[in-house]
C-alpha cells in the first residue's frame, strides 16, 4: 500500500498523449489536462479564454471566435459540446436555432421585432442587467446578451430563458434543513420506534433485544422477530419489508385465497343481485346482464351525493365513489388547516404571507398548493404586497418577497440563532441565503456572546455545527457538547468540564466532570457520558470516580454507550442509562435524567 498522502502526492499528468506537463487540476475518474491543452479544447469549441483557469466546474469568461460574444462557460460544458459536435457559444447556437424555427413555420412565423425597452424591462425584472440584443432586428427566440446582477455571469439567453432567472438564484425545495442549532450534529435516522406505524404492534419484544428496539431504522435490511397480532405466529422478516406491507406468513395466504374466491364468485354474479350496486346503478346496460367482476367497459353509477363516476362495478363495490373520498380527504385537511394553515401543503412560510384582507372570502385552507390562480400575499417583515399563484411561488427562484429578492427557506427563517450572528458587513442579508447554500463571498459572523469575536466561515460550515472559534470548548466530543446543551435546556443551568473538589475524595484531589447541574438546596447533579470506545477499559476508573462523587453527596448519572457493562454500584444517589451511539437523543436522555432526579428528590423528602 502506498504511503504517499494526498498533500504530497505527485501532480496528475496531462491526459493528452505524450504531453509532459502536469494537469491543471486533479480528478479521480475523468480526464485532466494542462493549461495549454485546456486552451486548445476551448479553441476547438471556437472560444478563447479571457480569464485564468480555476477548475473544470468554475464559470470562466470567454470570447466566441465566430461572433465575438463574451460569456461565461464551464470547461466541462465545452468538453461535452465538443464531443457532440455542437458549438459552445450559445449566441451562435440560438441564432441558428431561431432562424431554423422561423423557416419551419414559414408564413406563420412571428416576425414582430422585440424593442430594446421591452427586452431591458424583461431582463431587469428577472435579475439581469441588459447589455443588448445579439441580432438586428431582434425577433422571437433570438438571443440577448445579459449579465446576472448577483453573480456577474455573462450569458446569451432567449427571452423565455431569461424569465427563469440566473441559475445562481435557483432555490431548490428541501424538505429538511440541517443545523446543530436545532438538532445534534450527529446524523439523525428515522427510527421504527418513533414512527407510530401499525407495524409496531407486530414487534416481538420477547425475542428481540432492547438494543434493536432502540436503534433499528425504518429502512433497515436486518431480520428481526415479529409476532402476528391476529394468530400469534412468530416469524423472522426484514424491517423494511414489514414497514412497507406487514404480512403474516400464515394469515396472508389465507386472506389472499379468500379474496380470490370472493372475486371468482363475483365474476358470475350480476350487478342486479348486489343491492348496494343496484341502488347506485345509472348505466344504460341492463344490470342483470353485467357481472360485478371481470373484464368489461367502465360503468356509470350515481352516488347518494349526486356524483356520476365511471368505474368497474367491483371497484365501486369495494371503494365507493372516488369524488366523495376526495371530498372527505379535502374536508379533513381543511379542518386540520384551521389549526395549522400549513397543513394543506403550502408550507408554513408561504402560508404566513397570506394577505389578511385582499383575498376576500377565500380561505387559505381551501387553496391548493398547485393552484395557478393569482392570490394576494404580504411579507410581514418588509410589508410589500404582490399577486402570484401558489404554484409559481414554490418553484424556480422561490422568492419570499419579489421586491426585496429574499428567498424561501432562508437561513433567517429556519435558524434565527445563526442569522443573529450574520454580520451586517455581508453584501446580502440572512434572508437572501440558504442554510447550506454557496455564496460568492465568505460570510462574516459576529459572536452573539462576545461581539468582539468576528470570523469568516462558509454557510455549510455553520450549518454543520461550527461555532465561534474563540468560544469553542476544547477537549469535548460533539456528543458530550450536545448533551450539555440539552442539560441547559432541560434544567436551566449546566456546566461543562467543571473541576470538583471535596474532602471525601480518596482517589484524587479533584475530578473533572462532563456535565454538572446545580439543584435545589445546594445539591449537585453530575452527568458523565461514557463512550463505548474510550471507556471500554476504564471500568475501574469510572467506578472509583463515581464512588468519590457519591461520597461527596452528589447525585451521579452515567450515560453508558451500548454495549458497555453496568458498573457495580447500587447506591440510592446513582443510576445509569444505556445510550446508543448510532442514534443519539440528547434531549430525550436528559429528560429521563430529570425524571429520575425528581423521583429521587421526592423519595429523599419522605
* Same domain assignment for residues 311 and 334: no
Mean of the per-residue pLDDT values of the chain: 88
Q: What is the pLDDT of residue 184?
A: 42
* Same domain assignment for residues 518 and 583: yes
Q: What is the pLDDT of residue 331?
A: 56
Q: Does the residue 433 lie in any domain?
A: yes
Q: What is the pLDDT of residue 461?
A: 82
Q: What is the pLDDT of residue 1?
A: 36
> Could you tell me if 243 and 222 are in contact, meaning their C-beta atoms sit under 8 angstroms apart?
no
* Same domain assignment for residues 366 and 263: no
Around Cβ 59, how many Cβ atoms within 10 Å? 19
pLDDT of 587 > 80? The answer is yes
pLDDT tens profile 402-461: 999 899 999 999 889 899 999 999 999 999 999 888 887 889 999 887 788 888 988 888
How large a percentage of the chain has pLDDT more than 90?
Answer: 64
* Same domain assignment for residues 485 and 565: yes
pLDDT tens profile 202-214: 999 999 998 899 8
pLDDT of 179 > 50? The answer is no
The distance of Cα 229 from the centroid of its chain, to the nearest Å, equals 35
Q: How far apart are alpha carbons 96 and 300 in whole angstroms?
A: 54
* Same domain assignment for residues 600 and 483: yes
Q: How far apart are alpha carbons 423 and 414 in whole angstroms?
A: 17
How many domains, in total, are found in the chain?
Answer: 5
* Same domain assignment for residues 499 and 566: yes
Q: What is the pLDDT of residue 339?
A: 44
Residue 359: pLDDT band by 50, 70, 90 thresholds? very high
pLDDT of 28 > 90? The answer is no
Q: How far apart are alpha carbons 82 and 574 in whole angstroms?
A: 72
Residue 186: pLDDT band by 50, 70, 90 thresholds? very low
pLDDT of 346 > 90? The answer is no
> Could you tell me if 59 and 153 are in contact, meaning their C-beta atoms sit under 8 angstroms apart?
yes
Q: What is the pLDDT of residue 443?
A: 93
Q: Does the residue 234 lie in any domain?
A: no
Q: Would the pTM count as exceeding 0.85? A: no
pLDDT of 23 > 90? The answer is yes
Q: What is the pLDDT of residue 437?
A: 84
CA distances from 391 to 370, 563, 564 (A): 5, 51, 53
Q: How far apart are alpha carbons 257 and 408 in whole angstroms?
A: 52
Residue 345: pLDDT band by 50, 70, 90 thresholds? low
Q: Does the residue 510 lie in any domain?
A: yes
Report the side by side order of strands in the sheet with 510-518.
495-501, 510-518, 524-530, 555-561, 574-579
pLDDT of 165 > 80? The answer is yes
pLDDT mean over 103-132: 94
* Same domain assignment for residues 360 and 456: no
CA distances from 242 to 213, 223, 224, 478, 549 (A): 15, 10, 10, 34, 47
Q: What is the pLDDT of residue 159?
A: 95
How large a percentage of the chain has pLDDT more than 70?
Answer: 91
pLDDT of 557 > 90? The answer is yes
Q: Does the residue 135 lie in any domain?
A: yes
Q: What is the pLDDT of residue 497?
A: 80
> Could you tell me if 278 and 272 are in contact, meaning their C-beta atoms sit under 8 angstroms apart?
yes
Q: Does the residue 333 lie in any domain?
A: yes
Cell of 386: 404582490
* Same domain assignment for residues 529 and 462: no
- Choose the final residue of a domain: 304, 320, 336: 320
pLDDT of 472 > 70? The answer is no
Identify the CATH number of the domain in which residue 500 sits.
3.40.1350
- Choose the final residue of a domain: 121, 146, 169: 169
* Same domain assignment for residues 314 and 347: no
In this structure, of 116-130, 136-150, 173-187, 306-320, the range with the lowest mean pLDDT score is 173-187
- Choose the final residue of a domain: 443, 467, 491: 467
Q: Does the residue 584 lie in any domain?
A: yes
pLDDT of 6 > 50? The answer is no
Residue 603: pLDDT band by 50, 70, 90 thresholds? low
Q: What is the pLDDT of residue 168?
A: 83
Residue 602: pLDDT band by 50, 70, 90 thresholds? low
* Same domain assignment for residues 504 and 579: yes
β-pair partners for 191: 217
Residue 581: pLDDT band by 50, 70, 90 thresholds? confident
Residue 45: pLDDT band by 50, 70, 90 thresholds? very high
pLDDT of 277 > 60? The answer is yes
pLDDT of 334 > 60? The answer is no
Higher per-residue pLDDT: 177 or 318: 318
pLDDT mean over 491-495: 89
Higher per-residue pLDDT: 5 or 83: 83
* Same domain assignment for residues 507 and 594: yes
Q: What is the pLDDT of residue 225?
A: 95
In this structure, of 226-230, 257-261, 267-271, 492-496, the range with the lowest mean pLDDT score is 492-496
* Same domain assignment for residues 454 and 519: no
Q: Does the residue 216 lie in any domain?
A: no
pLDDT of 330 > 90? The answer is no
pLDDT of 67 > 90? The answer is yes
Q: Does the residue 185 lie in any domain?
A: no
Instruction: Spell out the alpha helix ranges (H) of 434-574.
Output: 459-463, 478-491, 539-551
Task: Tell me, letter by letter, the H, E, C secondary structure of 170-202.
Answer: CCCCCCCCCCCCCCCCCCCCCEHHHCCCHHHHH
- Domain range for 370: 326-395
Amino acid at each position: 500500500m502506498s504511503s504517499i498522502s494526498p498533500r504530497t502526492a505527485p501532480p496528475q499528468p496531462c491526459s493528452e498523449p505524450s504531453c509532459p506537463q502536469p494537469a491543471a487540476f486533479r480528478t479521480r475518474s475523468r480526464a485532466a489536462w494542462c493549461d495549454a491543452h485546456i486552451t486548445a479544447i476551448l479553441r476547438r469549441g471556437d472560444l478563447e479564454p479571457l480569464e485564468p483557469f480555476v477548475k473544470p466546474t468554475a464559470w470562466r469568461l470567454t470570447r466566441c471566435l465566430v461572433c465575438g460574444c463574451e460569456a461565461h462557460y464551464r470547461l466541462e460544458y465545452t468538453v461535452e459540446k465538443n464531443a457532440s459536435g455542437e458549438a459552445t457559444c450559445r449566441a451562435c447556437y440560438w441564432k441558428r436555432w431561431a432562424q431554423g424555427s422561423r423557416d419551419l413555420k414559414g408564413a406563420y412565423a412571428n416576425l414582430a421585432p422585440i424593442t430594446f425597452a421591452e427586452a431591458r424591462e424583461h431582463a431587469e425584472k428577472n435579475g439581469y442587467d441588459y447589455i443588448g440584443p445579439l441580432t438586428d432586428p431582434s425577433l422571437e427566440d433570438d438571443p440577448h446578451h445579459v449579465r446576472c446582477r448577483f453573480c456577474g455571469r455573462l450569458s446569451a439567453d432567449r427571452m423565455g430563458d431569461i424569465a427563469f432567472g440566473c441559475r445562481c438564484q435557483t432555490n431548490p425545495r428541501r424538505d429538511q434543513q440541517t443545523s446543530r442549532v436545532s438538532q445534534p450534529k450527529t446524523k439523525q435516522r428515522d427510527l421504527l420506534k418513533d414512527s407510530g406505524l401499525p407495524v409496531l404492534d407486530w414487534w416481538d419484544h420477547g425475542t428481540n433485544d432492547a438494543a434493536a428496539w432502540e436503534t433499528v431504522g425504518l429502512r433497515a435490511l436486518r431480520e428481526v422477530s415479529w409476532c402476528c397480532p391476529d394468530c400469534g405466529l412468530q416469524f423472522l422478516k426484514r424491517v423494511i419489508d414489514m414497514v412497507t406491507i406487514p404480512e403474516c406468513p400464515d394469515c396472508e395466504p389465507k386472506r389472499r385465497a379468500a379474496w380470490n374466491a370472493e372475486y371468482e364468485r363475483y365474476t358470475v354474479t350480476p350487478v342486479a343481485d348486489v343491492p348496494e350496486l343496484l341502488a347506485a346503478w345509472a348505466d344504460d346496460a341492463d344490470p342483470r346482464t353485467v357481472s360485478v367482476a371481470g373484464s368489461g367497459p367502465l360503468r356509470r353509477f350515481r352516488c347518494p351525493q349526486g356524483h356520476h363516476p365511471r368505474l368497474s362495478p367491483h371497484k365501486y363495490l369495494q371503494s365507493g365513489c372516488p369524488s366523495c373520498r376526495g371530498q372527505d380527504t379535502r374536508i379533513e385537511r381543511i379542518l386540520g388547516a384551521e389549526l395549522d394553515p400549513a397543513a394543506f401543503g403550502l408550507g408554513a412560510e408561504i402560508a404566513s404571507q397570506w394577505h389578511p384582507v385582499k383575498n376576500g372570502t377565500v380561505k387559505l385552507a381551501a387553496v391548493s398548493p398547485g393552484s395557478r390562480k393569482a392570490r394576494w400575499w404580504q411579507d410581514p417583515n418588509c410589508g410589500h404586497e404582490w399577486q402570484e399563484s401558489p404554484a409559481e411561488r414554490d418553484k424556480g427562484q422561490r422568492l419570499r418577497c419579489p421586491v426585496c429578492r429574499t428567498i424561501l427557506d432562508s437561513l433567517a427563517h429556519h435558524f434565527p440563532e445563526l442569522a443573529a450572528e450574520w454580520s451586517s458587513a455581508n453584501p446580502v442579508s440572512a434572508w437572501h441565503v440558504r442554510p447550506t447554500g454557496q455564496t460568492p463571498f465568505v460570510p462574516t459572523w459576529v459572536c452573539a456572546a462576545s461581539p468582539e469575536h468576528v470570523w469568516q466561515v462558509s454557510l455549510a460550515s455553520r450549518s454543520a455545527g461550527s461555532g465561534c472559534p474563540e468560544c469553542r470548548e476544547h477537549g469535548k466530543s460533539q456528543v458530550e457538547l450536545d448533551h450539555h446543551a440539552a442539560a441547559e435546556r432541560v434544567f436551566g443551568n449546566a456546566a461543562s468540564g467543571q473541576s470538583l473538589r471535596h474532602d471525601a475524595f480518596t482517589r484524587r484531589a479533584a475530578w473533572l466532570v462532563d456535565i454538572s447541574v446545580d439543584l435545589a438546596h445546594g445539591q449537585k447533579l453530575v452527568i458523565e457520558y461514557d463512550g463505548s470506545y474510550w471507556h471500554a477499559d476504564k471500568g475501574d476508573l469510572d467506578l472509583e470516580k463515581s464512588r468519590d462523587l457519591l461520597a461527596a453527596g452528589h447525585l451521579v448519572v452515567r450515560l453508558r454507550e451500548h454495549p458497555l457493562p453496568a458498573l457495580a454500584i447500587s447506591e440510592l444517589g446513582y443510576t445509569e442509562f444505556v445510550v446508543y451511539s448510532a442514534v443519539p437523543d440528547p434531549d430525550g436522555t436528559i429528560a429521563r435524567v430529570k425524571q429520575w432526579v425528581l423521583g429521587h428528590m421526592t423519595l429523599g423528602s419522605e
